[in-house]
Structure 1
Amino acid sequence: MRRFPKPLPSLISACAVFALLWQPLPAKAQIVPSLPAADTPPPPSRPALWKVSDADTTIWLFGTIHVLPKGGAPWLVGPVAQALQGSDTLVTEIAQADTQASAEHGASLSPGMLPAGQTLPALLGPERAGRLAATLTASGVPAAQFDAYKPWMAATALSLLPLIQRGYLTSQGVEATLENAHPQKQEALETVAFQLGLLDGLPQDAQIAWLDTVIAQYDTIGMQIAQMVNAWRAGDPDELGRLMTADMQDDPRLVETLLTRRNATWAKWIVQRLKTPGTVFVAVGAGHLAGKGSVQDDLAKDGIAVTRVQ
């Protein structure tokens, strides 16, 4: 039987647009429990930073985590802060303005909604629908909340609930912090509509199997994301790549759609951008800069040297 990717690694390594789904989730699910105070200060954060350059152009490559909890050692310090401050342009996966506009207009999530007259429980069948309803009810979410969602939308939204309940916030995410620190000039590699289209274009059997996996691993999602955040803070892209794509190799369609094809496109964008003088800070999901088939690997195929700075 084909296995499908772990819910959060595949998503966080793939698209920044999932932060939009924070908005439709019911208020009851957004209660954040109090967390015990740490006995020791957190270890320093030194997420990985790379540099691509020629005679008159410098492009920084920085991996992001789209949502983070409050607290933890500051990461926008040292070489990362210096690189951002010295850059003419900040480039992220999608633009902050695009994200905000889409969040304010719920119709932008229409690709994730089933056609009129269809429901997710009917599509899933009694057994699957029962498991989904039980998971939602245990999380304080009315089961009917997801009835109009396509399977990929349900899988995505369901995987966010444990993060919300543990205090993870898009406002604490890396992109939000970078955009607030560098408001002067920002660009984007993709659009909200494009990223939603990637998820919506997944075959239905892949979508349903993904939802099955989210339900089965629901109680471990918090641990998974904590491990990824720790690897990102430690500047360990190899471990981060392993965690984020642990099971993705079992379905080449997901690898090709969410990672491989986009990494190659971004590498070509970097090659072209090197022809324009200036300094650019490129920040994309950390999974795109980790493991085999990363953006760095594609740049190497084009003969472009990438230097690890931090």
Structure 2
Amino acid sequence: MMNRLIFAAAFTGLLFVSACQADEESELHFEDSELEQAVADALDTDLPIDSELAGDVTELETDLQINSLEGIAQLHALDELHIDSSQIDSYEPLLSLDNLQVVSLGDLYFTDDTERNEETERVLEVLEDREVELDFRTRLSISDRDGDSKGLFYEVTHNEQQVYLFGSIHVGDDHLYPIREEVMDAFYNADSLSVELDINQIDEMALSQQMMNTGMLSEDETLSDFITDDMIEDVTQYLSQLMIPEPMITQFEPWFLTMLLNDYAQMQSDYTSEGGIDQYFINLAESDDLPIMELESAEDQISAIAGAPMDEQIDGLQGALDTMDIYEEELTQMMNLWRSGNREIFEQLRAYDSEYGSQMMNERDQQMTEVIESYLNSDSGDHYFVVVGALHLAGENSIPYLLEDKGYDVELIE
């Protein structure tokens, strides 16, 4: 009798477990309760969600703060996803959605976690290859560094010649200083300073006029030929603070308006070009009577920026408008990144540039590398200290990459 009871209990238990499993399999399950609630809201149903309803979800839009997308593969018919208020741990689950056509992600962060950054870039590239329409705003979230600023710093040698390369950030404040001892020792032992441009020697009025002339649309064109009235209204809202009237604004190309917007945003922040690394070393060189040489000309830089295709100019202008409200915070994060000297993140940011942005950066780096080569191939025995924007010193086709490829000894000084 006991055995029968045991067997009965065993089989009854198994049947009970099986029944529970069947019930669970008929429900949709998500790792993130906010995602589960968003799906329930989209279906206008209560939790738990019947799995038979999964195919009814073709569009999901929510203001809930979702952290995990695990389980979203169950929504096999989903073609639009709008999660602008979310901070997602991993975007990998999006690749399981074969019908996805539109994705809006809100703010997408590059962080200290370089592996996560690489995964995010890979997912976005796959979605772009699938021709998914993507909408997001790239941001930085970088931990501040304790102690002196590190920066990106290289030593390049050839025979008796020595060149030090130090990456700069062009605006800043006192938080950038002091700079680590290895960098400062190299500077004080150098025989000259080379910079992209000697900003102390620039005629600002003449340069502004030159940029304005270059940035004018042709007489038979107006800004409304290229961008929407809403964009023009947004641009005018900011630039009117600089006493630039709308009739004048509509005569300029988008790239020039982007520069004006950046100038306005910087003026509203606590950061200045006077606080930047370029200005710092130029001032030190002048006080020590150290020769200052230029790697580029103002004309070179203007030509590079103005040469962008119209579609990239428009994207750049929209990007500037989209980030006006976070400009100062992004500069703070850029300074944190610069202070960290994390080459991997700089490499990831460089690789993330637009097609024309990458082309322009590569061409400028090629030109500056040729100048630096002339230092290395001279027989003066001089030590050269070179300051260029930090992105010029990270990634494929950067200055250190090109020099090493040409056979020079290049060492990253950690």
How would you bin the TM-score normalised by the shorter chain?
Answer: 0.7 to 0.9
Please name the residue that 1:172 is paired with. 275
Deviation readout 1:63-119 (Å, 9 max, x if unpaired): 0111113x2152345111111111111111112354x21445542222123345754
**CA displacement, residues 159-188 of structure 1 (integer Å, 9 cap, x when unaligned):** 233322111111111111101101220111
- What's the CA shift for 1:213? 1.6
Whole-angstrom distance in 1 between the partners of 2:276 and 2:365 = 21
Q: Does residue 230 in structure 1 map to residue 336 in structure 2?
A: yes
Moved more, 113-122 or 58-67: 113-122
Query: What is the SS of the residue equivalent to 1:51?
Result: strand
User: Could you report, residue by residue, the CA deviation over 1:17-36 in whole angstroms, capped at 9, with x for unpaired residues?
Assistant: xxxxxxxxxxxxxxxxxxxx
Distance 1:189 1:85 in 2: 20
Distance of 2:367 and 2:346 partners within structure 1: 22
Matched, 1:189 2:295: yes
Is the Cα–Cα contact under 8 Å of residues 85 and 182 in structure 1 kept in the other structure? no
Question: Tell me, what secondary structure is at the counterpart of 2:155?
Answer: strand
Give the structure 1 partner of residue 252 of structure 2.
Answer: 149
1:218 maps to 324
* Distance in 2 separating the partners of 1:118 and 1:167: 37
What is the aligned counterpart of 1:256 among 359, 364, 374?
A: 359
Do structure 1's residue 279 and structure 2's residue 383 form an aligned pair? yes
Larger Rg: 2
AA paired with 1:231? L
Q: Is the 8 A contact 1:90 1:186 kept in 2?
A: yes
Matched, 1:309 2:309: no
Q: Which amino acid aligns with 1:173?
A: G
- Aligned equivalents of 2:195 and 2:308: distance in 1? 23
- Give yes or no for the alignment of 1:202 onto 2:308: yes
Local SS of the residue matching 1:306: strand
Matches within 5 A, 1:20-169: 43-69=147-173, 71-72=174-175, 74-98=177-201, 100-103=202-205, 106-109=208-211, 110-115=213-218, 119-121=222-224, 123-136=226-239, 144=246, 146-169=249-272
Higher relative contact order (CA 8 A, sep 6+): 1
Any idea what SS the aligned residue of 1:127 has? helix
3-state SS in 2 of match to 1:114: coil
Displacement of 1:281 in angstroms is: 0.6
Letter in 2 for 1:265: Q
2:292 maps to amino acid: Q
Tell me the CA shift for residue 48 of structure 1: 2.2
Could you say what secondary structure the match of 2:203 adopts?
A: helix
SS at match of 1:293: coil
Aligned identity (percent) is 22
**Conserved in 2, the CA contact under 8 Å of 1:48 and 1:235?**
yes
After superposing the two structures, state which structure 1 stretch, 75-84 or 118-127, moved more. 118-127
TM-score (norm 1): 0.76
CA distance in 2, matches of 1:48, 1:186: 21
RMSD over equivalenced CA pairs, Å: 2.9
Structure 2 partner of 1:239: 345
In the alignment of these two chains, the number of paired residues is 267
Give me the whole-angstrom Cα distance separating, in 2, the residues matched to 1:180 and 1:165.
25
Letter of the 1:261 partner, please give it: E
TM-score between the two structures when normalised by the length of structure 2: 0.58
Corresponding residue number in structure 1 for 2:372: 270
User: Which runs of no fewer than 5 residues in structure 2 stay unpaired?
Assistant: 1-101, 111-143
Between 1:40-49 and 1:273-282, the stretch displaced more is 40-49
Q: Structure 1, residues 251-277: CA drift from partner, whole Å, max 9, x if none?
A: 3222112x1122222223323321113
Deviates most, 175-184 or 111-120: 111-120
CA distance in 2, matches of 1:304, 1:80: 20
Q: Structure 1 unaligned runs (5+)?
A: 10-39
Q: Which whole-Å CA distance do the structure 1 matches of 2:410 and 2:215 have between them?
A: 37
* Structure 1 counterpart of 2:157, one-letter code: S
Change (3 A) 1:260 1:42: same
Cα offset, 1:122, TM superposition? 5.5
Q: CA deviation at 1:191?
A: 0.5
Residues of 2 paired with 1:229 and 1:196: CA distance?
25
Instruction: Please give the alpha-carbon distance, in whole angstroms, between the structure 1 residues aligned to 2:153 and 2:145.
Output: 24
Contact 2:347 2:395 in 1 (8 A): yes
Cα contact 1:47–1:75 (8 A) shared by 2: no
Question: 2:397 is aligned with what amino acid?
Answer: G
> Alpha-carbon deviations, 1:209-246, whole Å to 9, x = none?
21112112322332322222111111212223334x36
